[in-house]
Structure 1
Amino acid sequence: MTKVQVSLPDDAEDGLQAFIDDVDECLSSEEDTCQVVRDTLIDLFGDREAWERWQSGKPVSPATRVRLQGYDPCNATLEAEYYAEKDEETFQRSKHLQWLWRQFDATPMADNVDFALRFRQMLANHLFEEAGDNLRIFKGVTFSYGHNITVGDNTVIHDDVHLDDRGKLTIGDRVSISDGVHIYTHAHDVVDQTEVRNYHTDIGDDVRLTYDAMVNAGNHVGENAIVGARAIVKSDVPAHHIVVGAPAKSVKVKPGFEDVAEPLEAGGERRVDDREIPYDLPEDRDTFDEFGRDLGGPVKPHRTE
């Protein structure tokens, strides 16, 4: 193996683990999540003195006030907040936890790998629908909501990965997701891009998604498969296959798995429609077209890309 065990000095370890345990305990309690996130960020950014000064009624600059208010996720908006089909009640807590995750990644401590991995594992336990043991989630990973994500044990998610979960995203055990990978669970109509369909996207056990690859919504990547760098998955990937290109196509079966894998020409089955997750919008929902267009012309049939 090419990795070795790394540990922090005992005094640093004790302090860092105590901090993780304290935040975990607060998030598990009945305490208001907004306040937990706010207080955690105030202390992480070293702004407790300025906060107390402001709360006591003493003057602070407009910039300081904006900064202090910004620690509270209730004073922030996220892109997913605009998604009309979301479950409002579930999203509120997810938003608070996602704000803590994103702002933690902006602190110097996010580069202290051993500590940061454990902190994100703790947050994933609260945010994801299900988070397996020994997750290694690196810096800059983003989500739509977070609460529609299930991840198995011993999975590694590297820097700057986007896990879209407007639909449902399942990632198996021992999966390796390289830097810059994007996995989607929603797709837009090719005529009216404001019309969205959500899907279940599934990444099987022992899969490797390599650098800058993209998995389109509703596809299944079979166990032990490899998706090559910058490949775009637009149909199912059979187990044990290696796929490359845009769109991704099978070019090889992994050595040693020829007897259990489907034939090389078996790749390319598209079952996206079988994995659609329907939703209804309340008639009184206040929606808008962000482009402000009068579409006109044909908008059917519905086709996604």
Structure 2
Amino acid sequence: MTKVHVSLPDDAEEGLQAFIDDVDERLSSDEETCRVVQETLVDLFGDREAWERWQRGESVSPATRVRLQGYDPCNATLEAEYYAEKDDEKFKKSKYLQWLWRQFDATPMADNVDFALRFRQMLANHLFEDAGDNLRIFKGVTFSYGHNITVGDNTVIHDDVHLDDRGKLTIGDRVSISDDVHIYSHAHDVVDQTEVRNYHTTIGDDARITYAAMVNAGNHVGKNAIVGARAIVQGDVPAHHIAVGAPAKSVKVKPGFEDVAEPLDAGDERLADDREIPYDLPDNIDVFDEFGRDVGGPVQPHRTE
């Protein structure tokens, strides 16, 4: 056992829990989410006095006005907003909640671990497709949308992890995801990188993804498996195996699990193509090509990196 239970002083605990409950209740109500996010951030950043001056029509500096406007997620854009295939209705709500998540992580309170973990659990209950109990999500975790993520019970996600749910991402119970891990659910064509395919990426119960590893789109990390530090998962990792390297390959079965481990060749076949999530784009889409270049030849389907 490497950790002990830590609790806050009673007076601090009472105030912090009251704040979480208040934001939770407002997000669960019919109140406009943009307004809830804006007022929550105004108070977290200690800007209530300036905000009220601005609301009364009094003069504020241009920098102050930009800062105050920025608390409102309706005045912000996120990278995923440019994704043509997104579900506009789902994204509208998840964008606002994601803005609150990201800006909360920029406050000093984001380093108060006991409070911050509970605040993010509350937000995950509203943002994720499904959020299990007793999640421990640390600072700097980012998503594409948030609403295509399912996480099980007692899972730990450490600092600066990126969970790409442009497709769909399912993470099981008791999973450990270490700092700087990237888990993807979309991939780009190798000829025309503006062509995107989305996939369902899954992490099994009790799996452990260690420091700075990458799981590419559409792959499955099996139950109780370990992905080593800086490994790149380009195919399925069999249950109970330890996979390392780039591309990640099994080097052994976890001791004691030899009789129940999946066979070594279970991860050799690329199954991601079977997990592709098709989508249709509107006929009248206003295409934005950030590269504006000629790819120099025909684009062949299903050649993703």
Fold match, TM over 0.5?
yes
Q: Give the letter for the 2:17 counterpart.
A: Q
Alpha-carbon displacement from aligned partner over 1:53-103 (angstroms, at most 9, x marks no partner):
011111110000000000000000000000000011110000000000000
CA contact (8 A) 1:105 1:139 kept: yes
1:128 Cα deviation after fit:
0.1
1:296 deviation in Å?
Answer: 3.5
Q: 1:251-270 counterparts in 2 under 5 A?
A: 251-270=251-270
Could you tell me whether the CA contact under 8 Å between 2:238 and 2:263 is conserved in 1? Answer: no
Alpha-carbon offset, residue 273 of structure 1: 0.7
SS in structure 1 at match of 2:229: coil
Specify the alignment match of 1:271 in structure 2: 271
TM-score (norm 2): 0.99
Native 8 Å contact 1:251 1:264 kept in 2: no
Does the CA contact (< 8 Å) of 2:206 and 2:225 recur in 1?
yes
RMSD, matched Cα = 0.8
Where does residue 28 of structure 2 map in the other structure? 28
Report the residue type matching 1:179 in the other structure. D
Misfit runs of 4+, over 4 Å: none
Deviation at 1:39, TM superposition (A): 0.3
Amino acid at match of 2:93: R
Q: Which residue of 1 aligns with 2:176?
A: 176
- Per the alignment, residue 217 of structure 1 pairs with 217
| CA distance in 1: counterparts of 2:69 and 2:209, whole angstroms | 39
Residue matched to 1:63: 63
**2 CA distance for matches of 1:226 and 1:302?**
29
Cα deviations by residue, 1:112-164 (Å, 9 ceiling, x for unpaired): 00000000000000000000000000000000000000000000000000000
Q: Any residues of structure 2 matched to 1:39-118 within 5 Å, and which? A: 39-118=39-118
Consecutive unaligned residues in structure 1, runs of 5 or more = none
Q: CA deviation at 1:185?
A: 0.1
- What's the offset of the Cα at 1:299? 1.4
CA distance in 2, matches of 1:134, 1:154: 5
* Structure 2: gaps spanning 5 or more residues: none
Q: Take 1:188 and 1:100, find their aligned partners in 2: how far apart are those partners?
A: 29
- Report the alpha carbon displacement of residue 295 of structure 1 after superposing the two structures with TM: 2.6
Residue pair 2:125, 2:131 contacting (<8 A) in 1 also: yes
Q: Is the Cα–Cα contact under 8 Å of residues 237 and 266 in structure 2 kept in the other structure? A: no
Count of residue correspondences? 305
Matching of residue 120 in structure 1 with residue 116 in structure 2: no
State the shift of 1:297 in Å.
Answer: 1.5
Q: Would you say the 8 A contact 1:250–1:265 is kept in 2? A: no
CA distance in structure 1 between the partners assigned to 2:134 and 2:226 by the alignment:
22
Structure 1 length-normalised TM: 0.99
Between the aligned partners of 1:46 and 1:290, the Cα distance in structure 2 is 38
Query: Alignment identity in percent?
Result: 88
Describe how 1:7-22 pairs up with structure 2 within 5 A. 7-22=7-22
